[in-house]
Amino acid sequence: MATEHAEITDEQAELIKTAPLFFVASADPSLEDRPNGAGPLNLSPKGGVPLHILDRTHVAYLDYEGSGDETARAASLSGPVTIMICSFGEDDAAVIRLFGKARTSSVEESPLADQLLESTANDIALPMRQIIEVEVDSTQTSCGYGVPIMEYVRERTTADRGRLFKPG
């Protein structure tokens, strides 16, 4: 059963600080008007760069160019965002979700730039796009029993990319 919290707990912070990967889901708030609330949600893995805990109700990360910019689009429309962090290790299975609203800022204009630029994703070899900051409204921890035990090997580099799922 999931446990709800008003802010990031000490236990959640420990997993967030050590997670090599997190996921960001966002949605356009106008999709709520569709039948059955149906509509596309964006879900993106974020590896190579940490999720920084700014305080118990704020997190941020460096965002790099990629396939789209849906998180920023949803943020500009005041849409919801969920960040999910999973424990893939053998001990302490857990899934953490952070629920809130995101805002974007350019790296050059953000007061968070110095802090976030201390740990960049050099191996990704993509240009930095922006900083995403999330104001966390609530958090949730669940058991994580459905998450497989996996070993972190390394970050993916441009040489590891392949072309199978890339156009042209």
CB 121 within 8 A of CB 64: yes
Q: What type of residue sits at position 64?
A: Y
Of all residues in the chain, what percent carry a pLDDT higher than 90? 47
pLDDT number for residue 41? 82
What is the model's pLDDT at position 164?
Answer: 67
For residues 12 and 143, the model is more confident at 12
Instruction: Say if residues 149 and 89 touch (Cβ distance below 8 Å).
Output: yes
pLDDT at position 8: 98
- Check whether 51 has a pLDDT greater than 60: yes
Q: What is the pLDDT of residues 86-96, one digit of tens each?
A: 998 888 889 99
What does the H/E/C string look like for the chain? CCEEECCCCHHHHHHHHHCCEEEEEECCHHHHHCHHHCCCCEEEEEECCCCEEEECCEEEEEEECCCCCHHHHHHHCCCEEEEEEECCCCCCCCEEEEEEEEEEECCCCCCCHHHHCCCCCHHHCCCEEEEEEEEEEEEEEECCCCCCCCCCCCCCCHHHCCCCCCCC
Do the Cβ atoms of 54 and 114 come closer than 8 Å? no
Cβ 138 vs Cβ 4: under 8 Å: yes
pLDDT of 161 over the 70 cut:
no
